[in-house]
Every structure is written in C-alpha cells, then in structure tokens.
Amino acid sequence: MTTRRPSFPAKLDRPSGPSPQVRPARVAGSMVTAAAAPQGLGLDSGAVRARMVQKLAAQGIRDPRVLTALGHVERHRFVDTALVNQAYEDTSLPIGLGQTISKPNVVARMIELLLAGQPDAAAPLGRVLEIGTGCGYQAAVLSCVAREVYSIERLRGLHDKARENLRPLRLPNVHLLFGDGMVGYAQGAPYAGIIAAAGGDAVPQAWVDQLAVGGRIVAPTVMPGGQQALVVIDKTATGLQRSALEPVHFVPLKSGIA
C-alpha cells in the first residue's frame, strides 16, 4: 500500500484580499480519485462504491452524471479513520465541530435536482455555489458535474479540514472559501446553481440575487411547522418559482464565522 503524499507543492492562500478568502483546492489535473491508495478500508473501495451507486439507483436516482460522480469520489477519504467502514452506508456521519457529512442519497438527490433545474438539463452545469463545505465531500462530487464550484464554510476548522481532504484530489475547478455563506459569494456570481448543506428559516435574499436567470437553488429550509424540507427555487425571466419537496434533516444554517 502506498502512503499519502506528505505534502503538496500548492500555494493555496491568497496573500490578502476580500473576505471571504478564496482558496483553490487544486493544483493541476482533474482526477477525483487521488493517487494514494485508500487507507484503513479493508475492502476494495471501488466495489463498495459501485454497490452504493446501485442502491442509489434503486432508490430512484436517475441522472447518470450523478451516479457516475458518486461512484467516483472516494467518500471514505472524507471521514475519520474510525468511521471508514461506514463510509459507503447511506448514513450521515460526524465530521467534527458538531457537523455531519450528508447521506449519499441526499447528496445525490440534491445534485440531481440542481442539474434538472437547468434550462438545458443535459448540458453541463456552469458555476455552482455550495453553502457549507463541511469535510469537502459534496464539493468533490459537484466538481464532477459543474464547471466551477465555489464552496463556502463558516467554521475555520472544517474549512481547513476540507482543504486537507481535497488537496490530494487536485480539483482545479473547486474553490474553497472561508466565510459566512448566508451572504453568498458575490465575486463568483451569477451562479447556475446554489446548493446549501445547512438549513435556515428562509433562503437568504443574497442567494436569490446571486443566482443567474435560468438557475436553481436547492436548500433545506425550515417550514412553518418547524420541520425542514428541501426547497427548490428557480429564477426565470418572469420571476421566482418556489417549491417545497420532501422532509430532510440538516444541521442549522448559522450566520457569522467561527
């Protein structure tokens, strides 16, 4: 078994600049499967992922781009060593600081919704903003289906963890940001899609403003009864179309950084 590269010759920090700070997760190439072999997973991770993808398809995920992306990204690299054996189960897992990596089924469902909302649903997704980088897993999956991914995290510890996790994957189209995602990231706008991994009481106006016409927001949002549901907002030339879909359970969307 080979070991992880001890370091990577990337200069990831912008010396100074507007907040939030942009930190490309990349350096070169576009492989989502890292050069290093899986560690601590006593199974062929490709076969386990293939089974996970089969289950996702059986659960109703149809878009082949989404299934391919989930089959490609090594989820076990994004969770703690002690949880590696659960990495391909359809469950959310703790990633530290009280946060969780979302269930594969939810990641797949939300990205499928994002793709389906585009004016040409078969075309590649343009620029995407993800609120809540967490461990970086969903950002890696998004990098397979979107041209550019801007992913913002409000907890410094997780932003740094995501950077660590994503560095060996060398994804030139993923840009990690540290900041409050409630205000979006105007410098990257307009976005073809905005996807939130944390649930707020309402979809912030900044996200709507930063969405391109023809774009879609997919965000868990607290409903009047107090339960979260997946909310989809489409921005059309004539206005916004909003629909609330199935119930979900996401960590709360919080303002500010920590």
Nearer to ligand SAH, 44 or 194 (CB): 194
- Choices 23-31, 134-142, 184-192, 223-231 (CB under 6 A): range interacting with ligand SAH: 134-142
* Least CB distance to ligand SAH at residue 228 (A): 13
Considering 45, 102, 143, 151, which one is annotated as catalytic?
102
Nearer to ligand SAH, 36 or 251 (CB): 251
Please state the φ and ψ torsions of residue 104, each to the nearest 5 degrees.
Answer: -55, -40
* Least CB distance to ligand SAH at residue 88 (A): 14
152 binds ligand SAH per the rule CB under 6 A? yes
3-class DSSP string for the chain: CCCCCCCCCCCCCCCCCCCCEEEECCCCCCCCCCCCCCCCCCCCHHHHHHHHHHHHHHCCCCCHHHHHHHHHCCHHHHCCHHHHHHCCCCCCEEEECCEEECCHHHHHHHHHHHHHCCCCCCCCEEEEEEECCCCCHHHHHHHHHEEEEEEEECCHHHHHHHHHHHHHHCCCCEEEEECCHHHCCHHHCCEEEEEECCEECCCCHHHHHHEEEEEEEEEEEECCCCCEEEEEEEEECCEEEEEEEEEECCCECCCCCC
* Least CB distance to ligand SAH at residue 95 (A): 6
Indicate if 102 belongs to the active site.
yes
Single out the residue of 69, 73, 101, 219 in contact with ligand SAH (rule: CB under 6 A): 101
Single out the residue of 197, 211, 217, 232 in contact with ligand SAH (rule: CB under 6 A): 197
118 binds ligand SAH per the rule CB under 6 A? no
* Least CB distance to ligand SAH at residue 2 (A): 25
- Choices 1-9, 111-119, 135-143, 219-227 (CB under 6 A): range interacting with ligand SAH: 135-143
Residues that bind ligand SAH (CB under 6 A): 95, 99-102, 131-132, 134-135, 137-138, 152-155, 158, 180-182, 197-198, 251, 253-255
Q: Which are the catalytic amino acids?
A: 102
